[in-house]
Amino acid sequence: MSLPTHIRIRCAAEHPLIFERPASQPKAARGAMMLATGIGWTVWVYLWRPALTLLPWFFGAHIVQHQWIELAGWTGLIDFAIHTVPYGWALCAILLIWASVNLIRFRGNERRKPRPEATPEADAQWTRMNAASLIEGRRLKSLVCSHDAEGHLLAVLNKSSYTFPTELGE
């Protein structure tokens, strides 16, 4: 995310407030994952097609029965299955390969464990404030945050006790 030059958002020790590291992944891996994600979304949307066509099929079930059973007999139904089932198997294989790649990629990583709760002491390391001020800021419902020219957080004040400067300098 590129900000205008007059806006600087930084915490203590020049840690960025917004984490962005797309360059840390190699371009080939990023491209492969984007391709896999695009294919996955395409398959996912394609798999929703039967659900979206369920209502017309529900009202047209007698037409299907007439075409497959009465006119063509079982050969029409078998012909449909012969031409359609391979596509279903191919889609299942693609999804299994995709799931296997992610299983191998994230093997040994527990990604669903809860994150530790943020403490004022840990947050104070990222700001230029002390833990007591951060605890007070968390307690208040309405805050006024003061920043210096570099964008560093200086103070957190209660909005009800803060007097706002007027526009005309009065």
Return averaged pLDDT per consecutive 10 residues of the chain, 170 residues in all. 61 61 75 92 90 76 72 74 90 95 86 79 80 82 80 77 59
Q: How much is the pTM? A: 0.31
pLDDT at 40: 95
Give domain limits for the chain: 23-105, 120-161
pLDDT at 143: 81
pLDDT at 106: 85
For 103-125, letters b (16+ CB in 10 Å) and e give eeeeeeeeeeeeeeeeebeebbe
Based on its alpha-carbon atoms, the radius of gyration of the chain, rounded to whole angstroms, reads 30
Q: Show the DSSP H helices in 48-119 as ranges.
A: 49-52, 54-59, 61-65, 74-105
